Amino acid sequence: MAVDRALHETKRRTIDAEPADGTRRQRGRHSRGRQEFSEPTKRPESPKRGRAGFVREIAIFYGFGVAVAIAVCILWLAGDVLLLAFASVLLAILLSDASRRLQSWLPLSDDLALGLIVVVSIGALGLLGWLVAPDIAEQSHQLVQALTRALQRLQAWIQRFGATNNLPPGLPAPDAVASQASSMIARAGGFFTGVVGGVASVVIIVFVGIYLAARPAMYVNGFITLVPQRKRQRAREVAHELGNVLGQWLMGKLLSMLIVGVLTAAGLALIGAPLALVLGLLAGLLDFIPYIGPLLAGVPAVLIAFSESPTLALYVLLLFVAVQTVEGYLILPLIERRTVSLPPAVTILMQTLLGAFFGLGGVALATPLTAVLAVLVTMLYVQDVLGDPVPIPGENGTGDSRAESG
């Protein structure tokens, strides 16, 4: 009896416990279902946080505008000094590149290679000046007189054919044009006369360029320290690439200037044009300015030849066209294979813009400044911001030089 009573009690407890467990299990399933299908609730954005973001965007916008305005004011007020500094940097890059090339041929230290380059350059310029300076000085004086005669002959030739009625009434007299040309020629070598004078500017460029070339790492590291730490490696890459591009461009441009000057002087001497030496030197120097320089060098040469005869003027014009054709289709393609190639339209627009702001100095330095701008836009905006892996201007030339130096 006791056993039957115990079994009955155990069975009753089991039956009473099953609905409770089943309910708990069902409630557990329902609770899990509600957890699985319930959407996450979004925390409403705080009004203070939204206003702070808007204020931050406004501050960035106006801060950028103020920075641009300050940069424009600095360029306007200290443009000549900045051009002077940029010319010094170009000279330093040229000296550093030449010393590295010398070190690849001879086992010399950095200081010894740079000193040898400076001494050889000064000696070569001094020897060249001693040999040709008297002829250049005499021909420069004759150039002004020849321009006066050429303008007088041109005016007489126009009057002979009865075309004076079509000329503008405010056309200056030949003597006035000659005096203006004389003053321009006297200032042709001083692009930075607005700073402290042409001669002093050249001295400043030479000494600053030598100091920069002697310790380039010190100045580059000093500039890199102004950049945030997480961006310093990229800033160092950009500075290195700028040095490579400008160095390659300068070496190519100097070679092109030498070839153009020699070809022009030799061609003028062969056809019997007057003042061949000084006109060839002028053509070589002005070839530093793309597109505009050859035109500035060709006009006085044609005018002086026209003072002799129209036929000689035609020959001189054909000579300049031939030299520019050889340079454009033979010399420049060979040089640009190892240097930077800039779009002509961009270069001319930069020459116009910088010429309007800074005069002849801005025109002369427009091309290297365009090369700097092209590298900065490519690396800092196109590659870093847009993420487009486009090649850097002049990357093929610098890459080849690195491969050969390695």
pLDDT tens for each residue of 237-295: 999 999 888 888 888 888 889 999 999 999 999 998 888 888 888 899 888 888 888 88
Report how far residue 291's alpha carbon sits from residue 279's, in angstroms, rounded to the nearest whole number: 17
Is residue 12 situated within a structural domain? no
Half-sphere exposure of 122 (CA within 13 A, CB side): 9
Tell me the residue range of the domain where 371 lies.
Answer: 78-162+172-405
Is residue 366 situated within a structural domain? yes
Per-run averaged pLDDT (10 residues), the chain, 406 residues: 55 52 47 47 53 71 74 73 88 89 86 89 81 66 68 67 51 52 46 50 87 89 90 91 88 89 92 86 88 86 82 91 88 73 82 83 86 89 85 57 36
Is residue 89 situated within a structural domain? yes
Report how far residue 369's alpha carbon sits from residue 30's, in angstroms, rounded to the nearest whole number: 73
Is residue 20 situated within a structural domain? no
- Provide the domain count of the chain: 1
From the list 109, 86, 274, 345, the residue with the least C-alpha distance to 191 is 86
Instruction: Tell me the per-residue pLDDT of 15-31, one tens digit each, with 9 for 90 and over.
Output: 555 544 444 444 444 44
Q: In this structure, what DSSP letter does residue 162 have?
A: T
Q: Long-range contacts: 309-313, Cβ < 8 Å, 24+?
A: 310/157, 312/271, 312/272, 312/273
Is residue 322 situated within a structural domain? yes
Is residue 167 situated within a structural domain? no
User: How does DSSP assign 82-97, residue by residue?
Assistant: HHHHHHHHHHHHHHHH
Report how far residue 393's alpha carbon sits from residue 378's, in angstroms, rounded to the nearest whole number: 8
The letter for the amino acid at 406 is: G
Is residue 51 situated within a structural domain? no
- Lookup: tokens for 175: 């003597």
User: Cα dihedral angle (393, 397, 398, 404), rounded to 10 degrees?
Assistant: 170
Evaluate whether 287 touches 294 at the Cβ level (below 8 Å). yes
What's the predicted TM-score (pTM) here? 0.66
Is residue 146 situated within a structural domain? yes
